[in-house]
């Protein structure tokens, strides 16, 4: 009787695993196919795309789109470096500020924590608008054509502060109280206790901040003029696509056939150029990202 029950349990477990792995595999394949389609299209000639559409395998192999994107390697490398520096510096500084703010707002002995938390939450519902923001950056802070105009707005995010506050709140208050009794100051508690215990949260929020800086192009377009030699990567690629689109629309007057301007394959090539480093970096923080999402989901 017991052996029969064990066999039934083992069979049920195997079936659940097969169904679960099958569903996860199918879902992973659905997530992978769009990227394969983008990569294949970026290596397909424009004529094949216009005649047969997009496909998962290049029907007519061509690297012409990448040749146009990397026509001036110095500008591409310069744009990469600008974006990389802004992303690294902005992520480090922003993560430190967000972590300190979230830690302070969850402290029970902080008198104005509720009022400040409401003020931060209020900014997620209402904003001053684009014109006051532009005047603040250009007229008051005088950051026109300055990379700080791209760096500073992304340092603090109300959503990330609220998220960090929830993460830190899951740490028992008795830990910080015992550290105070041992003579530790607030900054020592933050650096030596809070930060090591919130590593998954820091990785999660850091990934959000880094992606925000890496994909940033709107503030760059507003505050960085074309006179600057190097502008962030996303804006550089956007300008490449815009220029190709303009030339293609003017093909009739320029005696240029549409197939000579690989606009569709260029869009796919710029997507690969922009997302490649992120895809390579993500596996290193994936485990922390998953832990950060599940922190606080189960309490003992």
Question: Over 50: is that where the pLDDT of 300 sits?
Answer: no
Between CA 105 and CA 164 the distance in angstroms is 10
- Per residue in 204-256, pLDDT (tens digit) is 888 889 989 998 888 998 998 888 888 898 888 888 888 777 766 666 555 55
Question: Over 70: is that where the pLDDT of 64 sits?
Answer: yes
Residue 256 near residue 178, CB atoms below 8 Å:
no
Structure tokens at 297: 């989901």
Q: What is the mean pLDDT of residues 10-15?
A: 76
Nearest of 140, 156, 51, 148 to residue 100 by alpha carbon: 156
* Lowest mean pLDDT segment, chosen from 2-6, 12-16, 68-72, 220-224: 2-6
What is residue 8's predicted lDDT score, i.e. its pLDDT?
56
Between CA 66 and CA 267 the distance in angstroms is 10
Structure tokens at 210: 């880094």
Nearest of 219, 75, 234, 192 to residue 138 by alpha carbon: 219
Residue 231 near residue 78, CB atoms below 8 Å:
no
What is residue 299's predicted lDDT score, i.e. its pLDDT?
44
Residue 162 near residue 120, CB atoms below 8 Å:
yes
The pTM assigned to this predicted structure is: 0.80
Question: Over 60: is that where the pLDDT of 105 sits?
Answer: yes
- Per residue in 113-161, pLDDT (tens digit) is 888 888 888 888 887 788 889 999 999 999 998 999 999 998 888 889 9
Q: Taking all residues of the chain, what is their mean pLDDT, rounded to a whole number?
A: 81
Question: Over 80: is that where the pLDDT of 75 sits?
Answer: yes
- Per residue in 150-200, pLDDT (tens digit) is 999 988 888 899 888 888 888 877 788 788 887 878 888 888 888 888 888
The values of phi and psi at residue 61, to 5°, are -60, 135
CA torsion angle 199 204 209 212 (round to 10): 160
Residue 279 near residue 191, CB atoms below 8 Å:
no
More confident: 42 or 294:
42
SS3 labels along 223-287: HCCCCCCCCCHHHHHHHHHHHHHHHHHCHHHHCCCHHHCCHHHHHHHHHHHHHHHHHHHHHHHHH
Quick one: what percent of the chain has pLDDT higher than 90? 12
């Amino acid at each position: 009787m017991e052996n029969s029950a064990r066999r039934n349990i083992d069979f049920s477990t195997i079936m659940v695993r097969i169904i679960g792995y099958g569903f996860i595999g199918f879902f992973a394949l659905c997530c992978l196919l769009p990227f394969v389609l983008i990569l294949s299209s970026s290596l397909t000639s424009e004529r094949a795309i216009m005649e047969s559409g997009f496909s998962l395998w290049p029907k007519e192999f061509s690297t012409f789109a990448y040749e146009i994107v990397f026509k001036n390697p110095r500008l591409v490398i310069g744009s990469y470096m600008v974006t990389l520096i802004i992303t690294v510096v902005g992520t480090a500084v922003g993560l430190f500020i967000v972590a300190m703010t979230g830690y302070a707002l969850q402290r029970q002995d902080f008198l104005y924590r509720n009022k400040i938390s409401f003020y931060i939450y209020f900014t997620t519902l209402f904003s001053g608008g684009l014109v006051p923001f532009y005047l603040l950056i250009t007229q008051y802070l005088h950051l026109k054509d300055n990379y700080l105009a791209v760096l500073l707005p992304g340092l603090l995010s109300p959503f990330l502060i609220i998220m960090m506050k929830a993460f830190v709140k899951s740490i028992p208050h008795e830990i910080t109280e015992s550290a105070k009794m041992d003579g530790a100051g607030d900054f020592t508690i933050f650096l030596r206790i809070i930060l090591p215990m919130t590593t998954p949260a820091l990785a999660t929020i850091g990934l959000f901040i880094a992606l925000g800086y890496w994909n940033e192009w709107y503030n760059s377009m507003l505050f960085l003029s074309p006179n600057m030699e190097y502008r962030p990567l996303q804006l550089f690629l956007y300008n490449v696509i815009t220029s190709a689109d303009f030339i293609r629309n003017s093909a009739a007057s320029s005696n240029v056939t549409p197939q000579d301007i690989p606009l569709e394959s260029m869009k796919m090539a710029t997507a690969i150029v922009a997302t490649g480093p992120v895809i390579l970096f993500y596996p290193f923080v994936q485990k922390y990202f998953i832990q950060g999402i599940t922190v606080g989901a189960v309490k003992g």
